[in-house]
Structure 1
Amino acid sequence: MKRVALIFIAACAYSTGASAEKACVNPLYLTFDTGHMDIAPLVADVLKRQNVKVTFFAANERTKVGDGSLGNHWSSWWKERAAEGHEFASHTYDHVYWRGDLPGVEPKFRMQPTSGAFEGREFTWDTKKYCSQLAYANERLQDFTGKKPLPLFRAPGGKTSPRLLAAAKSCGFEHVGWAAAGFLGDELPSEKFSNEVLLKKALRDIKKGDILMAHLGIWSRKDPWAPTVLEPLIMGLKDKGFCFATLREHPAYRDWLAANGS
């Protein structure tokens, strides 16, 4: 009888603890876009240590080691992140920038890949071509992780137009930007924006519900933002009463995700 009582108490304690951990009343949504991936293992260590789940937006970008951020070299890294409970979404396969809409009844766009075989060249794409770029990034992610990515995307640089967003939505992708305070500044020159300055600004300005954005390595920044700032930022935000959730829990996307099988 005593043993049963102890088991019951332990079960109740576990249930209460799980509920408390699940309840996130002041959520923030930390997201990472791909980059040169040199800091990706360190970022993963911080997220695991701090028990923070994020959403990764992935493109096949040029990397310091391996065959691109969605190349086979990084497959085990993505698989490990899936096992930890992170979420994934498209950043266009070739990290393609929107450069402008073209006139005409049918939507067409000036697009410029910044990775892959056609890096730096400008093309005219229709909806079908753009959608194939969105879908292929998610296909690669699912191949690596065994987990279905979210039907969301982030356009490189956040560059879009209403026409481009409508085109993406027609093939099942909703766009995700970031909050003004959520721009964490890791792509800014460290000579003008030190890690200390960026950390102080983020801790001062970030508010409940903000989507935060950083990268898995920026080529141009001499003093890398991550992981130097990442852990102090997470700890500081936790001290201010914030918690972290993936975009699966974001109220602005919940209905879209449910309607699109996620």
Structure 2
Amino acid sequence: MTLPRQRGITEQAATAAIDQACRMLRLPTIRAQFPELAESAAREQMSYLGFLSELLMSECDDRARRRSERRIKAAGFPRDKSLRKFDFDANPNIDPATIHTLAACEWIKKSLPLCLIGDSGTGKSHLLIALGTEAAMAGFRVKYVLATKLVNELVEAADEKQLAKTIARYGRVDLLCIDELGYMELDRRGAELLFQVLTEREEKNSVAIASNESFAGWTKTFTDPRLCAAIVDRLTFNGTIIETGTDSYRLASTRARAEQQAVAG
């Protein structure tokens, strides 16, 4: 279909033509914003080039936002967590500078691992999700999964002769976030399958894990000492280890709110 191109068309006709062109060219942001931007350009006596750049940058910015939203959704995070909402004052074990350096994602570009180790309520999962979100916003492909869910999926894939395909799928993402590693004992088969995923990603793509067990306690999760040592090696070599401590700031926050309510009551 050819759009009309003629001089001296009415404003109504021009608006209709722009609307139609935006539909054909799939420019939803320009289609939605051009009337407002056109009025602003007229008020500010903007040049044609200036007005065109405003339109195109609006479309580009909106597309980048939508891509980020798609990557965050594809990551499968269980809840929305951000670094902006993390209370560094509540946990002095965590260095804000280190976390903000990690948020720049250079470690992902270098395919390095990250380990967050500490008791429940110390911020491990919050940081894991928040840093994964930062990576997705920066353009990296991210996948979040609970350790038990990942192992169960691998076992099912092995039974259905789909193991290679499943390992390859987990190997392709730029950052694999494994949460709650160490919460339950894995049998030898489960541990070996997890080891295969880590080996697939070694020095090619980053892995970030959160665990409530120190490395010394991982023998309760991976009962084979040699396999345990190999997994620890895969997850720590040249990586960053952050110990979030033992004091639950979630519990402390709950107690503080209860005390405030008691005083107010």
TM-score interval w.r.t. the shorter chain? under 0.3
Structure number with higher helix proportion: 2
TM-score, normalised to structure 2, is 0.24
Greater relative contact order structure (CA < 8 Å, 6+ sep): 1
TM-score, normalised to structure 1, is 0.24
Which structure has the bigger radius of gyration?
A: 2
